[in-house]
Amino acid sequence: MRMVDVGDKPKTERIAIATGLVRMSAQARNAIRSNSVSKGNVIEAARLAGIMATKRTPDLIPLCHPIAISAVEMHVATVKAGVEIRATVKTVDRTGVEMEALTAVSAAALTVYDMLKSTDRGMVIEAVQLEAKQGGRSGEWKRKRT
């Protein structure tokens, strides 16, 4: 078990975009849209939880390096199937921010679940995945559409 050595990699700009979906009942989604969730504003809470989670990534993922995050942008919106989440994370560092972006999506999704669980305990967090990354030795990567 080891945290791999990134000390000889150059510091370059790196971007990662991850997405996910919280599938839910129409009733749960409507509660968000009408802002009638008793715990508060679901969209704002999920965004904030996502941003804050990027900073906890090395505490949660054992072999992640601590990283100097330079920007986080969270998109959280209701769609037909429930709530769609997209996190964009940037850094200028020796290693990428894929894990930070995926962790942000996961934390935002869990926050959505938490705020609505009394309405719909059957919600499912789906398709948490990397969409694209730029920068670093492995360069650009984009998810293939099927």
Could you say whether residue 141 binds its own copies (CB under 8 A)? Answer: yes
Burial class (CB in 10 A: 0-12, 13-18, 19+), 93: buried
Number of residues that bind its own copies (CB under 8 A): 75
Q: Using CB under 8 A, which residues numbered 6 to 25 contact its own copies?
A: 6-7, 13, 20
With contact defined as beta carbons under 8 Å apart, do 78 and 16 qualify? no
Q: Kindly tell me which residue out of 53, 83, 85, 116 binds its own copies, with binding defined by CB under 8 A.
A: 53
Is residue 114 annotated as a catalytic residue, yes or no? yes
Collect all residues with Cβ–Cβ distance below 8 Å to 119 and sequence separation of at least 6: 25, 27, 28, 31, 37
Whole-number Å distance between alpha carbons of 145 and 92: 28
Q: Out of 28, 90, 116, 136, which residue is the one contacting its own copies (CB under 8 A)?
A: 90
Active-site entry in 8, 93, 114, 120: 114
Q: Does 60 bind its own copies (CB under 8 A)?
A: yes
Residues assigned a catalytic role: 114
